Amino acid sequence: MTELLTSAQMRAIEQAVIASGTVTGLELMERAGHGVVGAVFQEWPTLAATSHKAVVLCGPGNNGGDGFVIARLLKHQGWDVDVFLYGDPDKLPPDARTNYERWCELGKVEALTEDVIDSYAENNPETALAVDAIFGTGLTRPFFSLARVQSKLNSWQAGSFHGNRPKVVSVDIPSGICADSGVYLGRTGTSLDQCVRANLTVSFHRMKLGHVLAQGPIGAQKTVVADIGLENWSHPHIPPNDVVKLKTGHHLGLAKRADSHKFSHGHALVLSGPAGQTGAARLAARGALRIGAGVVTVGSPKSAMLENAMQLTAIMLAEVDGPQALRRALRDARINVLCLGPALGLDARAAKLVEVALGAGRRTVLDADALTLLSRDAGIFAKLHANCVLTPHVGEFKRLFPDIAAKLDAPAATGPAYSKVDATRDAAKRAGCTVLFKGPDTVIASPEGRASINASLYVRSAPWLATAGAGDVLAGFITGLMARGFAPHDAADTAAYLHTECALSFGAGLIAEDLPDALPKVFKTLGL
């Protein structure tokens, strides 16, 4: 796990460290500038080998201040550097102003206006590096006056000016992206093309939420984090649940004890749909078994018993034709987890099964059709309890929480914009259980506010997961981990992490059936 910070949290940490007298704001800015230059040279060693030409675009706050440091450091290395500033130098905050003045001893500063890039790109085809230091974590509203600068910078990078393609590095976050939500703060109806699209983004101390949510990763392309010496920070003023965690492969707690037996790892019951709709439940069941549940049973309607029997071996099969049969099955106290939804159906029988399952109070994963049933019946929704996990994709989320989804979809006029983390937290609070909101930026939240993200982004980009049945397997992974004793939130975020790892391990050509069977290799790489 690593932390993802909001702008306010980052500011609070910075201010606490400055107030402690350990370091000054000016020193932090200097380290930030060094961090960016170091990251650029590491990314493009040819730029480190000899001096080149750079243009640095500075904004009116401390992000611009970082830009002046970068300009100075490059100049000291023999680079030819041009600097533009958006705004009035007299209004720069103190540290940025100091670095502006330091730069002024080395070179001039021109005004950054809408049309600068056109003429600059025409006249300076040898430019190797463009530094976007216009706005960072302080962006609070859409900026219209520079919209053309951003889109022109993107065209330049794409080779529209005589084929010259400077590398674009964004300082902290691409200008235009809200650091708390990843939402592009643009004019209503404007496209993401107008946010700066960097080749490399260099953030400081920790990634911000905006680097992994919404459009943030599209603008950032690749994000690295520069250490600016805040490592031993303490933040007693930030409640732990307020800090969003990014799931990583460390300490997943997946090892099994040598002295355990199959029932030490739980018994999961996955309910199947009727004949002709049974594959999804089997995918979930296989996921649950592979991830380590001791016993997995598919509960099948009478009509589908033969169909299921023909395709199940290690997974057991029991007839669960309706609510009465489910009540009977649940007399077996060893069944510690239920999974309902994958192709369950939307009829009265399915609705009754969901109701009975929730009434049992056991750990329960609700996916697919079960989510649609919950959205149709407030009475069933009210039966959700803290041992449940809901796993909606965006369409299911809209059906379940239409007002929250509308708030998330509304064009953002001010920052910090309402984020997918805010939306998932609100949904979890309303449902009274853990919610896993799917996507490349999968957010997991629980009613008390705890939130984590599994990012299938950057080097973990896994677009082959967008395949039918992948969600059923994820539901099975969560089910299996809960059978093993993982608490709902831990099961959901660990499952989401492993789901992406399986997709990455298998690679292109992935279909849902491949996901459970990729687990052994993933476990091996995790040292199990």
Ligand X SMILES: NC(=O)C1=CN([C@@H]2O[C@H](COP(=O)(O)OP(=O)(O)OC[C@H]3O[C@@H](n4cnc5c(N)ncnc54)[C@H](O)[C@@H]3O)[C@@H](O)[C@H]2O)[C@@H](O)CC1
Ligand Y SMILES: Nc1ncnc2c1ncn2[C@@H]1O[C@H](COP(=O)(O)OP(=O)(O)O)[C@@H](O)[C@H]1O
Determine if residue 182 is labeled as part of a ligand binding site. Answer: no
Q: 316-319 and 223-226 as β-strands: parallel, antiparallel, unpaired?
A: unpaired
Determine if residue 525 is labeled as part of a ligand binding site. Answer: no
Does 140 engage in binding with ligand X (CB under 6 A)? yes
Nearest-angstrom CA–CA distance, 504 and 524: 14
171/370 with CB nearer ligand Y: 370
Residue of 470, 491, 495, 518 interacting with ligand Y (CB under 6 A)? 470
265/282 with CB nearer ligand Y: 282
List the single partner that 32 binds among ligand Y, ligand X, K ion, none, CB under 5 to 8 Å by kind.
ligand X
Q: How far is the CB of 246 from ligand X (least distance, A)?
A: 19
Question: According to CB under 5 A, which residues from 120 to 159 bind K ion?
Answer: 132, 136
Residue of 117, 136, 197, 293 interacting with ligand X (CB under 6 A)? 136
- The kind and range of the H/E element at 171 are strand 167-171
Q: 388-390 and 434-437 as β-strands: parallel, antiparallel, unpaired?
A: parallel
Nearest-angstrom CA–CA distance, 180 and 241: 16
5/330 with CB nearer ligand X: 5
State the burial class of residue 324 (Cβ atoms within 10 Å of its Cβ: 0-12, 13-18, 19+): exposed
11/383 with CB nearer ligand X: 11
Nearest-angstrom CA–CA distance, 510 and 519: 13
Does 273 engage in binding with ligand Y (CB under 6 A)? no
Q: Is residue 106 within 8 Å of residue 54, measured between CB atoms?
A: no
Residue of 71, 171, 224, 254 interacting with ligand X (CB under 6 A)? 171
**Coil vs helix vs strand at 96:** helix
Residue of 4, 6, 9, 32 interacting with ligand X (CB under 6 A)? 32
171/388 with CB nearer ligand X: 171
Q: 388-390 and 363-366 as β-strands: parallel, antiparallel, unpaired?
A: parallel
Does 175 engage in binding with K ion (CB under 5 A)? yes
Question: According to CB under 6 A, which residues from 177 to 196 bind ligand Y?
Answer: none
Does 368 engage in binding with ligand Y (CB under 6 A)? yes
Does 413 engage in binding with ligand Y (CB under 6 A)? no
Q: 2-4 and 53-58 as β-strands: parallel, antiparallel, unpaired?
A: unpaired
By CB under 6 A, the count of residues binding ligand X is: 28
Tokens describing residue 144? 């219209």
Q: How far is the CB of 36 from K ion (least distance, A)?
A: 10
Piece of the chain touching ligand Y by CB under 6 A; list 87-95, 179-187, 194-202, 465-473: 465-473
Nearest to 361 by CA among 384, 332, 342: 384
Tokens describing residue 476? 């099975």
Piece of the chain touching ligand Y by CB under 6 A; list 5-13, 294-302, 303-311, 437-445: 437-445
Determine if residue 63 is labeled as part of a ligand binding site. Answer: yes
Q: Is the dihedral of CA 7, 11, 14, 16 positive or negative?
A: negative
Does 456 engage in binding with ligand Y (CB under 6 A)? yes
DSSP state of 191: -
Does 456 engage in binding with K ion (CB under 5 A)? no
Q: Is residue 133 within 8 Å of residue 96, measured between CB atoms?
A: no
Determine if residue 471 is labeled as part of a ligand binding site. Answer: yes
Does 438 engage in binding with ligand Y (CB under 6 A)? yes
CA dist list (Å): 74 to 32, 37, 39, 329: 14, 8, 13, 71
Residue of 170, 194, 215, 424 interacting with K ion (CB under 5 A)? 170
Q: How far is the CB of 458 from ligand Y (least distance, A)?
A: 12
CA dist list (Å): 307 to 113, 284, 311: 68, 16, 7
Q: Rg of the chain's alpha carbons, rounded to an integer? A: 26
Residues 36-75 as x/- pattern, contact with ligand X by CB under 6 A: -----------------------xxxxxxxx---------
Determine if residue 249 is labeled as part of a ligand binding site. Answer: no
Nearest to 137 by CA among 186, 196, 66, 208: 208
Residues 225-264 as x/- pattern, contact with ligand X by CB under 6 A: ---x------------------------------------
Piece of the chain touching ligand Y by CB under 6 A; list 12-20, 136-144, 254-262, 458-466: 458-466
Question: According to CB under 6 A, which residues from 326 to 355 bind ligand X?
Answer: none
DSSP state of 462: -
CA dist list (Å): 246 to 2, 239, 326, 394, 511: 5, 17, 37, 20, 26
Question: According to CB under 6 A, which residues from 190 to 209 bind ligand X?
Answer: 204
Determine if residue 132 is labeled as part of a ligand binding site. Answer: yes
State the burial class of residue 334 (Cβ atoms within 10 Å of its Cβ: 0-12, 13-18, 19+): exposed
Give the residues lining the site for K ion (CB under 5 A).
Answer: 132, 136, 170-171, 175
Which segments are annotated as binding site for (6S)-NADPHX? Answer: 62-66, 136-142, 172, 280, 393, 472
Give the residues lining the site for ligand X (CB under 6 A).
Answer: 10-11, 14, 28-29, 32, 59-66, 93, 135-143, 171-172, 204, 228
Which segments are annotated as binding site? Answer: 62-66, 132, 136-142, 172, 175, 280, 393, 438-442, 471-472
